[in-house]
Structure 1
């Protein structure tokens, strides 16, 4: 005999933005661009390179907003940067960052948010922290792949790997763990509020 009882699907995000009205989603996009702008200015001293919180914000937006709204939020933030607003690392903005050594990393961000969001929607989220960690690692790997490939066109593959990928591996690991912990805490807080 089969069990026909209905079990509602577990929401992938404690924010539940997928079911919200358009004006709430628009506000979430604006809030996301603000969070990204602030996170881009936060730098933690670390060896071999300082770790910014920019990619942490990108992966969290993907995980919390879902792949569509997450990618849209990142595109809006990149649009703000292209218009000259000081929303990128070190308060930079304008078109120069989109043509220089950081262009590959910046180009990756909408894809990173989409990948992490897509995985979060499929259960790789705060309800399953190990999977959330893996999703965030994959997002960071995609970012480093785009960034390294672009950088290799400017300075060669070997040097790009040495200065544009390897120094960021430890930070990517740390931020993936931190991101998974944040998602898990948000899910637990949300469940406690419902109880």
Structure 2
């Protein structure tokens, strides 16, 4: 019984460390801006999907959840914080829907299976990424008004970069899943 308790505690500690490190990776991915046309690209969505694929839905959701809580509490973890504000004020701004969409995306990405072929993986990644944009656009439209060109403002500039990230992840997914077995 003592051995079972120790193994459970070790697994819990390992999971907490992975969640914290994943939250840090997500923060770093938000801060690094890569020059890309038509807007600079961060690697946030790539990391969100990667977390879902590599860690499974429970740890990935905990990681993204921790990241969001850190931001809501005022830590400058989000892409444009602290320049554009911090905490709850930043969170409830124009990007809130996208940030919440990170939760659905990592969950959906976790549903990719070892025996999925490239096109199934690609399709699942497109659906996962689309969930970020659907929630983001719904919130953006609600916040700034549906009379504005919501798609042109909140999705169109990012489509090329998202396509690039999705294709890279689709090509790497089988290797990520193989590595996952050792974690």
How does the TM-score come out when normalised to structure 1? 0.77
Kindly state the Cα deviation for residue 45 of structure 1 after the two structures are TM-superposed. Answer: 1.4
Structure 1 regions of 5+ residues with no counterpart?
A: 1-19
Match of 1:143 in 2: 132
SS of the residue aligned with 2:47? helix
Taking structure 1 as reference, are residues 153 and 190 closer, same or farther at Cα in structure 2, changes over 3 Å only?
Answer: closer
Work out whether residues 55 and 180 of structure 2, in 8 Å CA contact, stay in contact via their aligned partners in 1. Answer: no
Work out whether residues 53 and 176 of structure 2, in 8 Å CA contact, stay in contact via their aligned partners in 1. Answer: no
1:78 equivalent in alignment to 2:71: no
How does the TM-score come out when normalised to structure 2? 0.82
Task: Give the number of aligned pairs.
Answer: 169
1:108 equivalent in alignment to 2:101: yes
**Deviates further, 28-37 or 158-167:** 158-167
Match of 2:7 in 1: none
Match of 2:170 in 1: 180
**Deviates further, 54-63 or 40-49:** 40-49
Taking structure 1 as reference, are residues 102 and 70 closer, same or farther at Cα in structure 2, changes over 3 Å only?
Answer: same
Write the distance in 2 (CA, Å) between the matches of 1:188 and 1:65: 12
Alpha-carbon RMSD across the aligned residues, in angstroms, is 2.3
Q: Stretches of 4+ moved more than 4 A in 1?
A: 187-191
Structure 2 regions of 5+ residues with no counterpart?
A: 1-9
SS of the residue aligned with 1:88? coil
- Cα deviation digits, residues 119-168 of structure 1 (max 9, x gap): 22xx1x59644332222211110100000011111233351111101112
Work out whether residues 126 and 187 of structure 1, in 8 Å CA contact, stay in contact via their aligned partners in 2. Answer: no
SS of the residue aligned with 1:52? coil
- Cα deviation digits, residues 40-61 of structure 1 (max 9, x gap): 1111112221111011111111
1:166 equivalent in alignment to 2:156: yes
